[in-house]
Amino acid sequence: MGVGTVRFMIDSGRVIKVTEVLYVPDLDRRLLSIPSLVAKGASVEFTGDGCIISFEGRLVARVEKRDKLFVWNVVETTDEERMPDVAASAELPPGSLWHERLGHVSKKMVLASRAAEGVPSFVQDEEGSVDALCAGCSCGKMTVSPFSRQSGSVVKTAGLLDIVHSDVMGPMKPQSQGGARFVVTFVDDYSRYVHAYLIKAKSEVFARFKEYKALVEAQTGRRIRCVRSDNGGEYVNKQFGDYFAAHGIVHQTSTPYTPQQNGLAERMNRTLVEMARSMLYHRGMAREWWGEALHTAVYVTNRVPNTARPQSTPHEVFMGHKPDLSHLRVFGSRGFVHVDKSRRIKWDARAHACIFLGYAAGSKAYSVWDVEDERVVTTRTVVLDERPVDNNRNVVHVTRQAPLELDDDVNLVQQQPIVPVTDNGGDTEMAEVDDDPVDMEVDMVPNTLVQSQHDGQEMSRRGGEERTMPVSASIPDTIAARQLTNQASLLQSALVPSSARTGGTSLSDHLVFGPTRPRQVRISAQQQPRLLTGTQEPSTAAYPALPPSEGSRTTGGADRFLLEDGENNSSSGQDATGNGYTSDGRLDEPDAKRPRIDDEYEIALAASESIPNSFGDAMRSPESDKWKEACRAEIRAHVRNHTWDLVYRPPGVRVIGHKWVFALKRDEHGNIIRYKARLVALGCFQTYGVDYTSTYSPVASLNTVRIFLAVCCQRGYVVKQYDVETAFLNGDLEEEVYMVPPEGINVRDGMVCRLRRSLYGLKQAAAVWHKTIRSVFIALGFKQCKSCPCLFVRVGQNGPVYIVLYVDDLLIGCEAEEEASSIAEALGARFRLKSLGDARFILGMELHYNTQKGEVFVGQAQYISRMIARFGQADAHPVRNPNVIGQDLRASNEHPKLDAKKPYRELVGSLLYVANATRPDICVAVGILSQHLEDPREMHWRAAVRVLRYLKGTLSTGIKYCRGTQLRLLAFSDANWGSDLSTRRSTSGVLLQLCGGPVVFKAKKQATVALSSAEAEYMAIAVAVQEVLWVRQLLKEMAIGIGCATDVFIDNKAAISMASNSGYTPLAKHIDLRVHFVRDHVENGAIKVQHVRSAQQLADYLTKPLPTPQFVLLVTASGVVRYNDHGAQVEGEC
């Protein structure tokens, strides 16, 4: 005995889940409790011949009465056996639902299909009628009334492949997503089993026939005896004639201008077009998707009966077994597809919106269009909504590039055959032939903006054609070694237009990506025929665009871009900001009229500009052209760098995914100077010891950057800035790493990227890059500093030369510009180096120079300005002090919790960066705020906003360094005893000055509770000494000698005594031995402890809030001053 859950499919096609089911092993019948159904809200009505089960007034099932028992026929399903779940509609009668699933076949064929597996035996009444007028059929199949005709005798064949009928239809308007303009069909006369192939030109018919012949003869074990076609030149030629003669095939042709003699093939063409057109129109899809619709029509029609064999199906006759139709779904249905874990990270959605495109050949799966990733996905884990779409719907449309003409001997893209199809049951085999030109035309709306009721956003139709632009690329040896019939190279899986070939250049010298992003176009209510009565308002919900191609796999969907030789690698533009919501639904930057914090509002969580989160977002954004160019530049860099080889996936290897990451690069004025796109590997799926080992890579600290600037200021050096483009791509990988091909290009099925060089996102990428550039620096005569592995020094005749490395940004400090240019030239021979001139903007910090006075000013005015606007404080009043003396920010239940809409973490994080970079004056305030990230209250938000208001009033404040007679290092150490009221721990404040400005500053809570103020001061001295020793060692490696001891200024005489006295000190006997290392360095002469008055203790403002006059005085004295736009000092002197 046990209790569980049972799932089964009922007549309407829905999957019903029944819970609390008793499991009785010895019971040989399944029993359903009527009281249990009623208890769950169902209604059961008994009649003389059965009963009716309904739920909430809607019919669920009709149960037959057999031998005094009521028997409900259901199909049990399991998670392992069933196809993907479907949200079938109770609003659509079963007969109408299966009419749509079966591709809009006739009523007679719908009823006949009930004999197949998986099709319910629905009752033909007003609930399950298939007689209702169907808009799709009316628009897709309506013809003029036929003329009377005499029926002739029809010769029946005796077996499979005795006669094969063939015909070509086209040219189609427009071409398919794969560039096809024709369709060739091959119909087996005996079974009516049909194969259809999409082709670009009639010259491909012969090749497709050979494929067809090899396939069907291998499947059936029989040979083709006779081929019947018209007199078209694609059939009547020497090539076909020689082939038929060599294989003993009789070729029969129809009389000119008598298509009726090839009526079976002609009627099949009409059947396929009518079915495809009906499906396209019924679900509001644009005509470009006729290839996908035809694919589905082929699949479905082959599995329904026809008039020649009404008791069976072509599939059953040809394959020898009945088809299972339980998995059929309505073409174009919207739904959700599961996202594999290799293509998402922790907090990404587990499912994406999708559109049903048909059935995957050779597997029990569906083919759907992933709306988010914008690519075709083959999957069985999908949920579809088959409910009918309002007739006044949106039509999905895409831009098309010009047809691609390829040399006959070059097969760049494999054309996959459509799944075989057969006649859907015309009245006679010699049925009326539709002589009208094949045109999948669907009326489109004018090129206008249409307001969407779904999301309240305006979406525009992007018109026009896209020009195909080639880019040169090398051919890796990996693919060349493979035995491909056309010797296709690494990049030959991309479509290469003949117009892109110039002179003697081979096809392998070009890399071309497919058409650009699709358009979304709506059909207005006035353009739609009113096939149904009623007052229902038309739906204007925007449906996503469908996939762009077939025949070749698309790794990235419709938003593919083009590459062109000679294009500029960088895109520049003005700072684009807006208010409210962006086109992709995220909050944009607030303006100066934004409400204050006391009002209820939503605040922007992203940056002031809407930076895309994915490739699709970038292609849909207003700056799509700029992001597209950034992607082009990134792919060009990979092609030049030979980052990967395209190979067929080796068995058993793990393939990691990738993601596009976008960013904006700015100058010192906050203007956008570059749109950056990075192809990032999902290294989170790498395995230690398999595809990576070492991952450590250092970066220059902000302390190192400040010391570098101070030393260069003292020496009067020029400071040049350089950027290494695509830095992480320059190191060679030692491990074998395989990656999914990038979004935006087409590759052959089964191909993956074997990475030859490092790539962003790989766990070892940073380590490989640092190892590579370090070796180059050493080869140029530089030595790596042990105190900071990202600072390199070379001593020459003109003095030392310094290089600071921060990932891919380089700062070169030297006496003459010529020396910097020489170093850059040497680096440029190894890397793609971009010169940014004099260092003006580094790591979010602005640099201003006053060469006459020998001053360097470091500030963050632009960063702070954007932050003020980002958090809605553009109209806030400034304050002169970031702290409030005596304010208790300890949280309690009495204080109201902070509204979750207010981004407290984001605000504190932004303030932390400013505090650590150039503003030691806010360190105390930000340090207190950072202690309440887990449970912030309203008072914490107000305190954080106060810091922002203080920054607004001191926007042009920053650190100033000035050249003096000698380079002198000063240190200040202070402590606030028991400052933390919750833990009673003290706060240490440390500030180190070089060239009149702070280079190291800290405001840190002490690890243990101090028993006296002297003890707290002594523990703070230990922190200061550690920093002093590090700076002295770094200066020594920079070839700057500091022979004398470094003064450490303290305002507590007891602490000075403890630091200077090496004997027994009762007050310090319990202090950790590591603190007493201060005494060692005092004794060896490296440190000299000095007393300073409390009013002159510069580190005092790093330990506690101070009154405004004292606060301003100490901050200015420490070298944190204001500058105007001309670089002249406003307050504070050198």
3-state SS class at 868: helix
Instruction: Please state, in angstroms and rounded to a whole number, the distance separating the CA atoms of residues 517 and 439.
Output: 24
The tokens of 805 are what? 């490395």
SS3 773: helix
Yes or no: say if 1027 and 1002 are a contact pair by the CB < 8 Å rule.
Answer: yes
Q: Which of 713, 674, 1035 is nearest to 858 (CA)?
A: 713
Per DSSP, the three-state class of 912 is helix
**What is the spatial distance between Cα 207 and Cα 320, in angstroms, rounded to a whole number?**
28
Task: Answer positive or negative: Cα dihedral of 515, 516, 522, 523.
Answer: negative
What pLDDT is attached to residue 384? 86
Q: Which two tokens stand for residue 74?
A: 């259901």
pLDDT digits (tens, 9 = 90+) for 342-353: 777 778 888 988
3-state secondary structure of 778: helix
CA gap 1010, 979 in Å, rounded: 11
As a whole number of Å, the end-to-end CA separation of the chain is 89
Distance CA 618, CA 743 (A): 12
33: CB partners within 8 A, 6+ apart: none
| Close Cβ partners of 1026 (under 8 Å, ≥ 6 residues apart) | none
Question: According to the model, what pLDDT value does residue 414 have?
Answer: 29
Cα 983–chain centre separation: 45
> Which residue, among 155, 294, 164, 161, has the nearest Cα to 228 in the 3D structure?
164
**Helices assigned H by DSSP within 73-229:** 94-101, 107-112, 135-141, 205-220
- Tokens 């009154």 map to which residue? 1107
CA distance 486 to 406: 12
Q: Which residue has the tokens 């800035």?
A: 721
CATH code at 163-421: 3.30.420.10
| Residue with token string 């790493």 | 737
pLDDT at 926: 94
Measured distance CA(808)–CA(824) in Å, rounded:
14
Q: For residue 527, give every residue at least 6 positions away whose Cβ sits within 8 Å of its Cβ, in sequence order, or none.
A: 443, 445
CB 626 within 8 A of CB 571: yes
Kindly compute the dihedral angle of the four CA atoms of residues 1071, 1076, 1077, 1079, in this order, to the nearest 10 degrees. 160
The Cα–Cα gap between 629 and 569 comes to: 8
For residue 142, which of 526, 436, 395 has the smallest C-alpha distance? 436
DSSP summary character for residue 584 = T
3-state secondary structure 638-697: HHHHCCEEEEECCCCCCEECEEEEEEEEECCCCCEEEEEEEEEECHHHCCECCCECCCCC
Question: In terms of Cα–Cα distance, which of 678, 684, 656, 661 is closest to 763?
Answer: 684
Sorted by sequence, the CB contacts under 8 Å of residue 1099 that are 6+ apart come out as 972, 973, 974, 989, 990, 991
**Cα(750)–Cα(649) distance, integer angstroms:** 6
Residue closest to 657 by CA, chosen among 727, 765, 561, 742: 742
The Cα 853–Cα 742 span in angstroms is 52
Closest of 641, 644, 152, 815 to residue 429, by C-alpha: 152
Name 597's Cβ contacts closer than 8 Å, sequence gap at least 6: 872, 873, 902, 941, 942, 945
Pairing of strands 2-9, 75-77: antiparallel
Is it true that 163-421 and 964-1123 share their CATH fold? yes
CA distances from 855 to 480, 710, 1123 (A): 60, 9, 11
Backbone angles phi, psi at 587, to 5 degrees: -70, 135
Could you tell me the two tokens for 776? 């180059």
The CA distances from residue 926 to 138, 628, 666, 922, 972, in Å, are: 69, 39, 26, 6, 21
User: The tokens of 77 are what?
Assistant: 């399903």
Distance in angstroms (rounded) separating the CA atoms of residues 1118 and 1111: 11
CA distances from 772 to 778, 779, 790, 815, 1124 (A): 10, 11, 13, 27, 42
Q: What is the 3-state secondary structure (H, E, C) of 685-718?
A: HCCECCCECCCCCCCCCHHHHHHHHHHHHHHCCE
Strands (E), 712-819: 718-724, 738-739, 745-747, 751-755, 783-784, 791-796, 799-806, 809-814
pTM for the predicted model, two decimal places: 0.49
Stretches in the chain below the pLDDT threshold 70: 9-14, 56-57, 75-95, 111-133, 138, 140-156, 258, 362, 389-610, 668, 1062-1076, 1124-1134
Alpha carbon 298 to chain centroid distance?
33
For the segment 182-197, what is each residue's pLDDT rounded down to a tens digit?
A: 999 999 988 888 889 9
d(CA 231, CA 1059): 107
The angle subtended at Cα 863 by Cα 861 and Cα 869, nearest 5°, is 100
In the numeric block, which tokens belong to residue 85?
């779940």
Residue 170 pLDDT = 86
Encode pLDDT of 788-843 as tens digits.
999 999 998 888 999 999 988 999 999 989 999 999 999 999 998 999 999 999 88
Report the amino acid identity of residue 300: V
- At residue 418, φ and ψ (nearest 5 deg) are -70, 145
The three-state secondary structure class of 522 is: strand
Rounded Cα–Cα distance for residues 944 and 882 (Å)? 9
Measure the CA–CA gap between 180 and 417, rounded to whole angstroms. 12
**What does the pLDDT read at residue 1062?**
59
How far is it, in rounded angstroms, from Cα 802 to Cα 791? Answer: 7
Rounded Cα distance between 53 and 43, Å, is: 6
What pLDDT does 1014 receive?
A: 84
pLDDT tens for each residue of 445-502:
223 222 233 333 333 333 333 332 223 233 233 333 333 333 333 323 332 333 333 3
Determine the pLDDT at residue 513.
Answer: 35
* Spatial distance between the Cα atoms of 908 and 76, rounded to a whole number of angstroms: 56
196-248 pLDDT, tens digit per residue, is 999 999 999 999 999 999 999 998 889 999 999 988 889 999 999 999 999 99
Residue in the structure block whose two tokens are 């403890």: 1058
User: Under CATH, to which class is 964-1123 assigned?
Assistant: alpha beta
Cα 1125–chain centre separation = 41
Segments making up each domain of the chain, as ranges? 1-82, 163-421, 844-958, 964-1123
Whole-number percent of the chain with pLDDT over 90: 27
pLDDT at 694: 82
Rounded to whole angstroms, how far apart are CA atoms 633 and 628?
9
Count, residues in the chain: 1134
Triad 887, 888, 891: Cα angle to 5°:
140
